[in-house]
Structure 1
């Protein structure tokens, strides 16, 4: 099959990136990409370690003259967030990502692209396979399941990774070095379900869709709507207008993506049919007005369906409504020290139902540990108030700013020499693996960088071709200057 990215430069970077788009690598399903990377290392005669978690560590010796230089760890993650348009029939486990080139952008036909963090893997592979690039000893660290809780880096054996400098390649803005990031935790609320016999004649499904969604770290300050939160409001509005019974509800896809779709199934009496139709139209108009700029394509779709035998008890229905509505969403606090930086936030990412429970999964983030704990305490109080259980998973630390960083200074000088511009040093609200890596490999010099990407964790994700070329050129020049 003809390569879509053939002819793009650097050739090796885009060749490797396109190869990765052919391999299934949703978080938790990194077996195939790990096997591919092991074969890649063996092909090029490089030492490789495959951990039980499918972390891959590849070592490349220093080129002549660099034997006494500091060892550099190049780090990225192999997994990707798999989200698609609601109308698209696509299987991430069996189908290649449908990439296209549109001007300076690599996009897809309705799915996430996986440039987060496939482009890091591709650039590192290109450096590993290069026969001409001058560099110190390199350790390529490819971790797994970063997007769902950083399980790969948590499982990393520190004995497999020894270095002096770590360059994380999981940033999304060229010309900006990240030197600090938020910590986070998955906060889970679980509510038991009680059922009663259905006493209403008509059944409907209501779907809220068309939302932009987005990365819950990078886009949490964009005032985008959350489909689960909108559904919670809809439950309240229904209750205020007519009797109804709820029996199914779900929303969102990934805990770290803003929920762009939700759906519920419910029953009502015959006499409220036309009121329901008018009310749904009114709710849609209200939501569209509220999010006219940030989320203009919100849509509510009502469909008549076959009714169930059992529905939730009213107390269960009301507890679900309260749990959704009381759960915080969006920015919680802003940084006082860095203008424009979100300090703390919560993303209600997934609402899922089993036979016996409703589970809400939240991604809480903060660059201040005590604020993260405060949000956890808020969720615990919410759960206590509605009779739900509260639990925590995948707690990861923040990455605090390091005052002295020789690598950061070298990068600033190199960037100025190459492009005549000042390299910005910043912090990010999204979580990076650097906090855990600091615990694993020690308090070494760390920095994070990457090319321009937009709309990650959405079906509109795209990667800049020219920015990727410059970022790769910059990275190679930095390695060359570390002699």
Structure 2
């Protein structure tokens, strides 16, 4: 299946992507891909080092005639989001990604593709391996754990790099040049609750919210897509008087809009009709509201053979439902300074209820630090009112736009010359590593760009073949036209 990918143009790029996607590389479990990159650099005879947190740096001298140009850091992250459809049998810890061509798109079979940020990694690998591409001196920086904490970028110490310009290859629209991004913070609520005996004369049911698109909780949050946790909570609220929650699991990753939620409930026999009627009523309402956005949405009730012996005590159940209802989700504030840019948002990413403990995990993003803090405190207040302990972790800074950036001017001119149209220069609501890297390398001139990727952080992730060709031409032109060092 993956062999068809190797025949695509540019072959240098797609072959390296196929090589990379054969290596399991979920976030927090990058040992194999780190070794893969170390072996790659050493095989090329290039200076290859691994820092203390696991980032890999490979250095390549300038090609003849470009020795006096500024040194470039080409940067992408090694890890990928691991999301799959419920009916897909796949183990991200042991399997390489199974890819196929679908018209102009490369897709994976029921899983995320890893084009975010694998196409960036593959680009750098192709440049490092090439004997014909013209380029200045390069420091290739492959960071780890971008998707679940940016701990690689955070752990990179000052002095490890000596480059003048950083090219981040993690933007997902080929007509866009990125000059800024949002920062973020993880907001997590935890609470214990008492389990009580399930009522007599009761039956167990499973409620499932499924069929949602999901997507990137930064780039896709503006689309207003369905959040399975919020939808499930509406169902539970509607029938809260007649259900007893035994367990709940919704969503899986903080940076992915949750596509599915599953709740196990107990209902006494006399309330069965009320229960099913309310679920179907809310399903009809939500389907109508999301008719154009989520055409595959389903809310399903299934009878479970064995009833749960223990359920949440009623006070805790009520507190859970009220907290999730009160917690903001989606776009919180649009930027007053940049048109069509989400300034601040929240993703109610994961909810877990089981064995006397509940957890609600959110990722709050903003390009304005004070607004990020305001929303995080808003969430914290809602969760504390429900009796939860609240923590704020994994905070990372945004990247402030520099419209006077010298490398921005170079990229704007090259893009216009190659494509006969001007690029879109924009900040994004996703988290890029530039803001973090800039803390230890404040003098480095940074820019972000990349090929078109759709559906990142979901099993619908796909990469455009024609866009990759356009992007590759742009990469080669940039490397050839890096400015001279200061005299």
Q: Distance in 1 between matches of 2:153 and 2:361?
A: 21
> 2:214: which partner in 1?
213
Cα distance, 1:354 vs structure 2: 4.8
> Secondary structure, in 3 states, of the residue corresponding to 1:159?
coil
* C-alpha contact 2:215 2:458 (8 A) present in aligned 1: yes
Alpha carbons of 1:303 and 1:2: their partners in 2 closer, same or farther (altered >3 Å)? closer
> 2:287: which partner in 1?
288
* C-alpha contact 1:229 1:325 (8 A) present in aligned 2: yes
Instruction: Answer with 359-368 or 412-421: which moved more.
Output: 412-421
> 1:202: which partner in 2?
203
Q: Distance in 2 between matches of 1:102 and 1:308?
A: 44
Pairwise mapping of residues 413-432 of structure 1 onto structure 2 (< 5 A)? 413-432=413-432
Q: Distance in 2 between matches of 1:56 and 1:189?
A: 35
TM-score (norm 1): 0.97
Q: Distance in 1 between matches of 2:173 and 2:450?
A: 6
Q: Distance in 2 between matches of 1:79 and 1:112?
A: 12
Instruction: Answer with 3-12 or 146-155: which moved more.
Output: 3-12
> 2:224: which partner in 1?
223
* C-alpha contact 1:163 1:441 (8 A) present in aligned 2: no
> 2:237: which partner in 1?
236
Cα distance, 1:20 vs structure 2: 1.3
TM-score (norm 2): 0.96
Q: Distance in 2 between matches of 1:352 and 1:55?
A: 32
Deviations 1:456-480 (A, max 9, x none): 1111111011111221211111111
> 1:410: which partner in 2?
410
Cα distance, 1:159 vs structure 2: 2.4
Matched, 1:101 2:101: yes
Cα distance, 1:67 vs structure 2: 2.2
Q: Distance in 1 between matches of 2:162 and 2:262?
A: 48
Q: Distance in 2 between matches of 1:63 and 1:76?
A: 22
Q: Would you say how many aligned residue pairs link Structure 1 and Structure 2? A: 481
List structure 1 segments (4+ residues) > 4 angstroms apart after TM superposition: none
> 2:388: which partner in 1?
388
Q: Distance in 2 between matches of 1:26 and 1:3?
A: 22
> Secondary structure, in 3 states, of the residue corresponding to 1:246?
strand
Q: Distance in 1 between matches of 2:238 and 2:423?
A: 50
Pairwise mapping of residues 228-377 of structure 1 onto structure 2 (< 5 A)? 228-239=229-240, 242-305=241-304, 306-377=306-377
Q: Distance in 2 between matches of 1:90 and 1:340?
A: 37
Q: Distance in 2 between matches of 1:472 and 1:206?
A: 47
Q: Distance in 1 between matches of 2:146 and 2:38?
A: 19
Deviations 1:100-141 (A, max 9, x none): 011211011211100000000000000111111121110111
Alpha carbons of 1:2 and 1:101: their partners in 2 closer, same or farther (altered >3 Å)? closer
Q: Distance in 1 between matches of 2:163 and 2:354?
A: 46
> 2:160: which partner in 1?
160
Cα distance, 1:423 vs structure 2: 1.8
Q: Distance in 2 between matches of 1:316 and 1:2?
A: 49
* C-alpha contact 1:209 1:262 (8 A) present in aligned 2: yes
* C-alpha contact 2:21 2:96 (8 A) present in aligned 1: yes
Q: Tell me, which stretches of 5 or more residues in structure 1 are unaligned?
A: none
Q: Distance in 1 between matches of 2:409 and 2:301?
A: 57
Q: Tell me, which stretches of 5 or more residues in structure 2 are unaligned?
A: none
Q: Distance in 2 between matches of 1:246 and 1:280?
A: 14
Deviations 1:311-339 (A, max 9, x none): 11101111111121111100000011211
> Secondary structure, in 3 states, of the residue corresponding to 1:171?
coil
Cα distance, 1:2 vs structure 2: 6.7
Instruction: Answer with 427-436 or 293-302: which moved more.
Output: 293-302
Cα distance, 1:402 vs structure 2: 1.0
Q: Distance in 1 between matches of 2:180 and 2:88?
A: 37
* C-alpha contact 1:162 1:441 (8 A) present in aligned 2: no
Q: Distance in 1 between matches of 2:250 and 2:59?
A: 43
Q: Distance in 1 between matches of 2:108 and 2:302?
A: 30
Deviations 1:411-470 (A, max 9, x none): 111112222111221110111111101012223211000001111111111101111122
* C-alpha contact 2:2 2:98 (8 A) present in aligned 1: no
> 2:130: which partner in 1?
130
> Secondary structure, in 3 states, of the residue corresponding to 1:435?
helix
Pairwise mapping of residues 24-39 of structure 1 onto structure 2 (< 5 A)? 24-39=24-39
Q: Distance in 2 between matches of 1:30 and 1:103?
A: 31
* C-alpha contact 2:164 2:444 (8 A) present in aligned 1: yes
* C-alpha contact 2:438 2:444 (8 A) present in aligned 1: yes
Deviations 1:361-380 (A, max 9, x none): 11100011100000111012
> Secondary structure, in 3 states, of the residue corresponding to 1:307?
coil
> Secondary structure, in 3 states, of the residue corresponding to 1:93?
coil
* C-alpha contact 2:328 2:346 (8 A) present in aligned 1: yes
Pairwise mapping of residues 119-198 of structure 1 onto structure 2 (< 5 A)? 119-198=119-198
Deviations 1:27-51 (A, max 9, x none): 1111111111111101111111112
* C-alpha contact 1:170 1:449 (8 A) present in aligned 2: yes
